[in-house]
Amino acid sequence: MAEAHRNEWAYVLAATVRVTRDIDAAEECVQDAFARALTDWTANGIPIKPGAWLTTVARRLALDQQRRHATHARLLPLLVADVDDGPVDARSDDAGDDRLRLIFTCCHPALDLESQIALTLHFVCGLTTAEVAKAFLIKESAMAARLTRAKKKIAVSHIPYHVPSADELPDRIEAVLDVVHLVFTTGHTAPSGSSLVRDDLTSRALQLARMLRELLTSDPGVAGLLALILLSDARRTSRTSETGALVLLEDQDRSKWDHESILEGIGLVRESLTHRPPTRFSLMAAIAAVHAEAPSFSETDWGEIVSIYDLLLLTWPSPVVALNRAVAIGFAEGPLAGLSALDELSSDPFLAHYTYYESARADFFYRLGHCERAVASYELALLLTDNAVERSFLQQRLDDISSESAVKGAS
């Protein structure tokens, strides 16, 4: 049942919403269908097409529900008159459009970004309210209230349940990709907590990216995003030691990287870059590909990475992109050049509170032998992160530099 829920939830819910025209009502029917499956499948075995069985039951429940509310049905006529006696295949030709409708409804620009993410995790990925609350690190009751408000806004604002038209699609797909990317980055390096990575979020982001790839096979942004997630997540097992300590890219054991994911990701990068102009996700994935293809950290083509960041800044001006470019300059041209590039960003208000800005400065100071200035920057970086693994790493760096300085002073 758990596998059926994971694999079929989005298909079944999307098909049922097309009947109810109401996400709340559809969710209730789908939950009821899964509950009935527990009893029926235990007694009769799992059907050959679990999704078709669940979709048929959920849609019949939806139609029964609408018949019981005849007055409401007269005001909002059903777009689907009835369900055939035979099973409805959740993976039929209409299933792709249904899931796209569901994704675009959850990521509608009338909703705030947090609501878009919460609705996507809840309805498209099938996470429970408790699981979504855990992803946001808030209480279940608070998330339940947020989801209720978001669903109410969909109803009150008459947010349409459809795939945007061709002229609307470029802007709307960008919002969807933003949501999936944010889910991944939040999981890739958790902003707080005791673990560096949130596997629940990274796996959901990969699931969503693969779903979008299946539905929008020719979209270069989708191909780029899936490539970026695959190439970034391929390093997951090497990013921490056996004791859970942070391991920098420079020190990672590249034999532990997922080379199957890297090959898939590189193929997607090449495909996405054939479109002009390249999308920001294609360029970000291209940078990840340069890292993935390098035999070692010292053999990384930092000059190429700087060039790609130059293009990315034109496509997507961002303080974080500018910071990453400055760091790449430091490895391409030396730590002094890196510090100079970082100093050019010192007035940016976002980076003033960004731990990676200070940790990058600290690293370059240390490489230049300026231990006191490195310590000062590491101390500031330590104040700016709530992730326990990152805090432990920064504290260890501080301790190592202090010990090294003491030894030099004694000699």
| Distance between CA atoms of residues 402 and 366, nearest Å | 11
What DSSP letter does each residue of 33-52 carry, written as one string? Answer: HHHHHHHHHHHH---S-HHH
Helices (H) and strands (E) in the chain, counts: 19, 2
| Distance between CA atoms of residues 280 and 177, nearest Å | 11
Which one-letter amino acid corresponds to residue 31?
Q
Q: Could you tell me what percentage of the chain is helix, strand and coil, using 3-state DSSP and rounding each to the nearest 5?
A: 70, 0, 25
Name the domain boundary from 50, 69, 95.
Answer: 95
Residue 390 structural domain: 354-411
| Distance between CA atoms of residues 352 and 287, nearest Å | 25
Asked whether residue 195 falls in the same domain as residue 280, the answer is yes
- State residue 62's pLDDT score: 86
- State residue 378's pLDDT score: 95
Tokens of 145: 């209230």
Which one-letter amino acid corresponds to residue 157?
S
Calculate ∠ Cα 252-297-241, nearest 5°: 10
Asked whether residue 282 falls in the same domain as residue 305, the answer is no
- State residue 74's pLDDT score: 53
How far lies 108's CA from each of 103, 116, 171, 210, 222, in Å? 9, 7, 11, 20, 18
| Distance between CA atoms of residues 292 and 285, nearest Å | 10
Number of independent structural domains in the chain = 4
Residue 105 in domain = no
- State residue 176's pLDDT score: 92
Residue 145 in domain = no
Name the domain boundary from 69, 95, 121.
Answer: 95
Asked whether residue 294 falls in the same domain as residue 187, the answer is yes
- State residue 90's pLDDT score: 47
- State residue 69's pLDDT score: 62
Quote the DSSP letter at residue 125: S
Asked whether residue 360 falls in the same domain as residue 406, the answer is yes
Tokens of 265: 């990701």
Asked whether residue 65 falls in the same domain as residue 173, the answer is no
Q: What is the pLDDT along the chain (411 residues), one digit of tens a residue?
A: 677 777 788 788 888 888 887 888 888 888 888 888 888 888 888 888 888 889 898 889 888 877 776 554 454 443 333 344 444 454 444 555 788 888 888 999 889 988 998 998 888 888 888 888 877 778 899 999 999 999 889 888 888 888 888 778 877 898 899 999 988 998 888 877 788 888 888 998 999 999 999 989 999 999 999 999 999 999 999 999 998 899 999 999 999 999 999 999 999 999 999 998 999 999 999 999 999 999 999 999 999 999 999 999 999 999 999 999 999 999 999 999 999 999 999 999 999 889 999 999 999 999 999 999 999 999 999 999 988 999 999 999 999 998 887 666 655
The length of the chain is 411
